[in-house]
Amino acid sequence: MLFFFETLIKIALLIAGLMTAAAYLVLVERWMAAWIQDRVGPNRVGVPLTKIRLFGLGQPAADGGKFFFKEEFTPGHVDRALYFLGPMIMLTAALAVFAVIPFGSVLPTRFGVEGLSEPIRLVVAPGMAAGLVYVFAVNGLAVYGALLSGWASNNKYSLLGGLRSAAQLVSYELPLGLGILGVVLVAGSLDLETIISHQAQSGAWNFMLQPLGFVIFFVAGFAESGRLPFDLAESEQELVGGYHTEYSGVKLLMIMVSEYLHMFTASFLIVILFFGGWHFWGLTGSSDVVTWPVALLRVVVLLGKVLLTILFFMVARWSWPRFRFDQLMGLAWKVMLPLGLLNLVVLAVWMEYGRAVAEATGLSYLAATAAVGWGTLAVAWLAVVWFAPSASDNRPQRSPVVQEVCR
């Protein structure tokens, strides 16, 4: 029973934190967009009914509140059940991923309550052996959300947006899985906490050992969160709003928030899988038994890394143009998938024979692994440059049949 309430408190804190973070990071993103585009940005809304501006910190509350006072409107031509189900699936799935994602290490106390687990682990579902598979499965539900809302809207823009979104999410899920497999292969576990402590104990973060896997996971994570270089599904200039063209009011809010949460998920996974989670050299230690300062420091380090990653996402969004759809699909299937396979095969071979090689050459095992990893990245980079079509003319080529007809 106590465990039930402990879980409930964690869930409440986590959901409240995520929602607040999403609201305020939207404000941060708008500031950043303003800074990049050399304009002022939101700086007016402060305390209501006064003239205090507070640098626009009241903006998220005003925006959020406005969504609730909009008409909860359902167009006449939609498939009502699916129309409501789409955003609900998206938001539920986007939140539910965080059940296994740790947002710190442990707290060294039970707050004087007998029967609580000690130490309190800062994750809603601790010790989930199949954590990464769960993340992968629930994250994949986003495809259903996009497809359902696109189909149910019974609108041409929505249908095209939904199809594009599904194709994109589905294509980039494969490189994402290959990137994760590399980490699993090294850590020998699917549990995110174990993966962090594995990196903390060896002191080498995974992006140093398998940079190619990191690059693949990073790009695929970007694509899965559907933000600007990859926002083909809702490209305003072609498809109005993509699969949420027919949505308004709080259902639009749900879709927007879940898209933002996808970015959080990607950032958390990047930090946990490749940047050591809560670990930082000489600061946080690596043991399971901690004191209060260390416990808090670990939370701060983890969230700080996540924040930096999110800021990078934002800078990338406001500095890159959008892909074309054939480029998007080509990148997923013709570049990332083969490179992901290469990374995994090199890693598997190295794990089989690496120890013997390291002993024969007298290098330390970690250093040799890192050397192999960066060598693979260099080879992959050169191969892509060598085989990629010339960039001087990257217009889409017409098929011979069309050329014949149009001649």
Binding to another protein in span 240-279, by CB under 8 A:
240, 245-246, 249-251, 253-254
List Cβ neighbours of 66 (8 Å cut-off, separation of 6 or more). Answer: none
Residues 58-77: b if buried by 16+ CB within 10 A, e if exposed? bbbeebbeebeeeeeeeeee
* Cβ atoms < 10 Å from Cβ of 371: 14
**Which residues are 106's β-sheet partners?**
121
By the rule CB under 8 A, 367 interacts with another protein: no
323, two tokens: 């892909």
Site string for another protein, 53-92 (x = CB under 8 A): --------------xxxxxxx-xxx------x--xx--xx
Residues contacting 212, CB < 8 A, separation 6+: 339, 342, 343, 373, 376, 377, 380
Tokens, residue 197: 């402590």
For position 154 contacting another protein by CB under 8 A, the verdict is: yes
Nearest distance from C-beta of residue 311 to another protein, angstroms: 26
Whether the CB-CB separation of 243 and 82 falls below 8 Å is answered with no
**Residue 91: C-alpha distances to residues 19, 49, 159, 221, 256 (Å):** 11, 33, 20, 18, 9
For the bound state, the minimum distance from the C-beta of residue 151 to another protein, rounded and expressed in Å, comes to: 8
Which 308-327 residues touch another protein, going by CB under 8 A?
325-326
Quote the CA–CA distance of 350 and 355 in Å, as a whole number: 8
- Interface with another protein (CB under 8 A), residue from 52, 53, 355, 359: 355
Nearer to another protein, 10 or 317 (CB): 10
Q: Which is nearer to another protein, 73 or 292 (CB)?
A: 73
Among 112, 188, 321, 389, binds another protein (CB under 8 A): 188
State yes or no: residue 223 binds another protein (CB under 8 A).
Answer: no
Give yes or no for a contact between 232 and 328, defined as CB atoms under 8 angstroms apart: yes
Based on the shown chain and the rule CB under 8 A, indicate whether residue 345 belongs to the binding site for another protein. yes
The smaller minimum CB distance to another protein, of residues 56 and 276, is found at: 276
Q: Is 167 in the site for another protein (CB under 8 A)?
A: yes
Applying the rule CB under 8 A, the residues between 191 and 210 that interact with another protein are: 198
Choose between 53 and 398: whose C-beta lies nearer to another protein: 398
Are 102 and 196 a contacting pair, CB within 8 Å?
yes
Min separation Cβ 322 and another protein, Å:
15
Using only the alpha carbons of the chain, give its radius of gyration.
23
Q: Does 155 bind another protein (CB under 8 A)?
A: yes
The number of beta carbons lying within 10 Å of the beta carbon of residue 38 is 6
State in angstroms the smallest separation of the CB of 305 from another protein: 24
Instruction: Convert residues 128-147 into a mask of x (bound to another protein by CB under 8 A) and - (unbound).
Output: x----xx-------------
The amino acid that residue 12 corresponds to is: A
Q: Considering the complex, what minimum distance in angstroms separates the CB of residue 219 from another protein?
A: 17
Tokens of 41: 């940005």
CA 68/CA 251 separation, integer angstroms? 10
CA-based nearest residue to 339, from 245, 212, 195: 212
- Residues in contact with another protein, counted by CB under 8 A, come to a total of 90
- Asked if residues 100 and 190 have their Cβ atoms less than 8 Å apart, the reply is no
Closer residue to another protein, CB minimum distance, 67 or 312: 67
Which C-beta is closer to another protein: that of 108 or that of 330?
Answer: 330
- Beta strands 106-107; 120-121: pairing state: antiparallel
Please say which residue, 15 or 40, places its beta carbon nearer to another protein: 15
**348 belongs to the binding site for another protein (CB under 8 A):** yes
Q: Could you say whether residue 396 binds another protein (CB under 8 A)?
A: yes
53/156 with CB nearer another protein: 156
The answer to whether residue 174 forms part of the interface with another protein (CB under 8 A) is yes
